[in-house]
């Protein structure tokens, strides 16, 4: 009879531990996923902006091929004037990820998640064009 009582106590103990551990693990995974998404966005936008500044410094006709990874949740992109803007759905609302450039930029970036090759090219009219290859 004592063996059955010990087995039930272990089952109850494991159940209580799981009740506390499952929410902690779920929260940790959500935070890690959000952090990864934010880092991917910031790195991608920063990389495009730095490439735009670099090809502008070299002069008209210069181009650079860069690879960026965009996460899920991008609502829209806007590349104009001196900024690159991505509107992203996170935290239950739409947030902006903006990076300023030293040069006027034009073009488009994809809205869908994935890894893309982007061509950044300096034009003769003192602007930089950004487009998907």
- Kindly state the average pLDDT of the residues 111-128: 94
**pLDDT given for residue 1 in this prediction:** 62
**pLDDT given for residue 68 in this prediction:** 95
In sequence order, what are the residues at sequence separation of 6 or more whose Cβ sits closer than 8 angstroms to the Cβ of residue 63? 55, 119, 120, 121, 122
Q: What is the pLDDT of residues 12-22, one digit of tens each?
A: 999 999 999 99
Token representation of residue 98:
């903006």
Can you tell me the distance from the alpha carbon of 59 to that of 64, in angstroms, rounded to the nearest whole number? 12
Task: Output the CA–CA distances (angstroms, integers) from residue 91 to 22, 36, 42, 48, 113, in the order listed.
Answer: 21, 14, 16, 25, 18
pLDDT, mean over the chain: 91
Structure confidence at residue 92 as a pLDDT band (50, 70, 90):
confident
On the question of pLDDT at 35 being above 80, the answer is yes
**pLDDT given for residue 69 in this prediction:** 94
Residues 77-110 as b or e (16 or more Cβ within 10 Å = b)? bebeeeebbbbbeeeeeeeebebebebbbebebe
Radius of gyration of the chain (CA): 24
């Amino acid at each position: 009879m004592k063996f059955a009582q010990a087995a039930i106590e272990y089952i109850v103990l494991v159940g209580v531990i799981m009740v506390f551990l499952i929410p902690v693990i779920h929260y940790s995974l959500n935070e890690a996923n959000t952090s990864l998404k934010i880092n991917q966005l910031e790195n991608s936008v920063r990389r495009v902006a730095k490439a735009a500044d670099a090809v502008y410094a070299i002069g008209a006709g210069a181009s650079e091929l860069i690879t960026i990874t965009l996460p899920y949740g991008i609502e829209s992109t806007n590349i104009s004037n001196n900024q690159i803007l991505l509107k992203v759905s996170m935290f239950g609302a739409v947030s902006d990820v903006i990076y300023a450039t030293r040069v006027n930029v034009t073009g488009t970036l994809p809205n869908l998640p994935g890894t893309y090759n982007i061509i950044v090219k300096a034009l003769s009219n003192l602007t930089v064009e950004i487009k998907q290859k």
